[in-house]
Amino acid sequence: MCSALSVIIEAAQYCWIAGRYASIQDVITNMLGAFLGVVLSAHAKTLLAPGARVAQRLTLVIAAGLLALNGLTSWLLRPAFPEGPWWAQFAPPHRLYADRFHGTLYSARLAEAGLVGGSQVDAATVAAVRQSPEIGCELVSRIVTGEPTRGVAAITAIADEHNHVVAMLGQDKDAVVFRVRMRAEAAGFANPVFRASSLPAPGTATTIIGRLRDGQLAIEVQSPHGLTSNQLPLSSSWAWLFLLRHAPSGNSAIAAGTALWLFAILTIGSFWATRTGAPATVRKFRALLSLATAGALLLVPWIAGIPLSGWTEWTAAIAGLAVGALLATSYRHPRRTSEFVRRQSSRRRRGGVEASSSHQ
């Protein structure tokens, strides 16, 4: 029924609902979500009150899954630049983006090569950027700022012949956005976008720079009012971003989502680890889960060459481990609790009957 409802909704969007777009990806993800909900419902008792052996297996699944997810995420966050030719787009039309840039673009360059709107990027520059993306991926635009946009409007974009965006500097309302094509986008997932550094007032001569350096996205805005710079370190714990159609673009939103993601996973894992049996076994599985967490937040990013996890991720992970253990020690399964209450009531009734008989 859920799958049929999803197909009906997508068909309505395709045929009748203006401004909405049908997607087979939406149908697939809706079906998977419904299937997962049914499976979780059918096994709710096992998940909430697992036996010792089942809890041990579930803890191992969480530990291995966290390492695998963070490893896959680190791989998906590597640049994935298509082969040339590439083309420079200066303030491309509204049909490609939510809005069009309302200011004036004077010049732009990619790495050390100047760009001409609508012209092909020099082949040597394409080869250099593809070979060393974290050295050559620097996009610069000299502009006069315009009015705030309604949404993302590209100022300078580099795209291949299939209009796959390689790198883009744009404006979103009054802020600068920067994106670089990564393996995530090539695999059909949401591509991280960095939004920072508010633009000065309309009519201000400004130079904006977007970079990919040392595993982080960076934006600089140079104007007569001074220089502002913001960085967004890539994180191996961004797997949750790939579940969205459009990834959030602000530092605070991404940090909060990542912290919540880690907290939820490790709360569940710690809950199961605390129900694995005897105290010695519990300590062993808690230690295993803690080692897997440290590996996911330290070892995986180190191997992948991206920044190590920040303090917010560590805080969320430690809090999840603590809260899961606390919940496991205080939780009682409703069915078991009701059975206990019935047994106690039965004993009290029997005791009352025996006392009455003795009195008589």
SS3 145: coil
- 268-284: average pLDDT: 94
- 70-94: average pLDDT: 89
- 298-326: average pLDDT: 94
- 294-310: average pLDDT: 93
User: Per-residue pLDDT tens for 209-248?
Assistant: 999 988 899 999 999 988 998 999 999 999 998 877 666 7
- Position 59 scores a pLDDT of 96
The rounded distance, in Å, linking the Cα atoms of 247 and 313 is: 18
Higher pLDDT, 80 or 16: 80
Burial readout 221-251 (b: 16 or more C-beta within 10 A, e: otherwise): bbbeeeebebbbbbbbbbbbbbeeeebbbbe
User: Per-residue pLDDT tens for 109-144?
Assistant: 998 889 988 899 988 998 988 888 877 789 999 999
Q: What is the mean pLDDT of the chain?
A: 86
The rounded distance, in Å, linking the Cα atoms of 4 and 255 is: 36
- Position 21 scores a pLDDT of 67
Residue 53, pLDDT above cutoff 50: yes
The rounded distance, in Å, linking the Cα atoms of 258 and 255 is: 5
Residue type, 172: D
Distance from chain centroid for Cα 246? 10
- Position 83 scores a pLDDT of 87
Share of the chain above pLDDT 90, in %: 47
Q: What is the DSSP letter of 214?
A: T
Token look-up 């047994």 returns 343
| pTM (2 d.p.) | 0.79
**Is the CB of residue 113 less than 8 Å from the CB of residue 125?**
yes
CA atoms within 13 A on the CB side of 75: 7
- Position 286 scores a pLDDT of 95
Q: Hey, which residues does 144 pair with through a beta bridge?
A: 104, 205
- Position 57 scores a pLDDT of 95
The rounded distance, in Å, linking the Cα atoms of 19 and 328 is: 47
- Position 341 scores a pLDDT of 47
